[in-house]
Amino acid sequence: MVSRLRLGVLISGRGSNLAALIEACADPAFPAEIACVLSNRPEARGLDIAREAGLPARAIDHKAHESRESFEAELDRALRAADVGLVCSAGFMRVLTAGFTRAWEGRMINIHPSLLPSFPGLHPQAQALAAGVKVSGCTVHYVTADVDAGPIVAQAAVPVLAGDDEDSLAARILKAEHKLYPRAVRLIADGRVRIEGQVAVVDERE
């Protein structure tokens, strides 16, 4: 039996992208499996979703740590204890230090609700509306020390419609995220992504 890439999923809230990954991993043909789910917020709904799916899930409360480094050290230990091969940030609302991102460089991805490099950081949907763009979307990228600036693995575009507000645009983008994230994980798990400098080169051939 071919071994599956072991995922560590980081969350902070509702866990909708986690749910999409759980659904994808339920297919025996999918080349990855979720090894652990970690949240910096004990009240995160995503922890319940993980437990309901029978997955190892725990909270590592950042507020219980004296420093970011202490918090991240415990996060790192949990990921390594679960033998994680790829960290998937899925609505994880903590900016990670350069030390942590270097330790997991090339083995950690994030999904962001804009077409990077446009509109990085917080409230990208509001940024998109303020700029008057006609197309927005989402991006799966490798995590680096620079926020939302790592090599891009995959993107999906959605239209910005007349009358959109931040919530309606965010909801449309979220639907695209739920399809894009599992596709990006599949590409990586299948060995079809390589990083050359600042660019992720993707073999899209089926």
Tens of pLDDT, residues 145-198: 999 999 999 999 999 999 999 999 999 999 999 999 999 999 999 999 999 999
What DSSP element (H or E) covers 21? helix 16-25
Q: Whole-angstrom Cα distance, residue 87 to residue 37?
A: 10
Confidence of residue 204 (pLDDT cuts 50, 70, 90): confident
Which pLDDT belongs to residue 1? 56
Give the residue extent of every domain in the chain.
Answer: 1-104, 111-206
- Answer whether 154's CB lies under 8 Å from 180's CB: yes
Which pLDDT belongs to residue 206? 63
Catalytic residues: 112
Looking at 1.10.1660.10, 3.40.50.170, 3.10.50.40, 3.30.2090.10, the CATH number of the domain 111-206 comes to 3.40.50.170
**Given this chain, do its domains 1-104 and 111-206 carry the same CATH topology?**
yes
| 1-104: CATH class | alpha beta
Q: Whole-angstrom Cα distance, residue 153 to residue 183?
A: 10
- The pTM for the full model equals 0.96
Nearest to 32 by CA among 20, 44, 47: 20
Beta-carbon contacts of residue 49 (< 8 Å; ≥ 6 apart) = 15, 18, 19, 22
Q: pLDDT tens digit string along 133-153? A: 999 999 999 999 999 999 999
Which pLDDT belongs to residue 205? 74
Q: pLDDT tens digit string along 71-101? A: 999 999 999 999 999 999 999 999 999 999 9
Decide the pairing of beta strands 86-89 and 199-202: unpaired
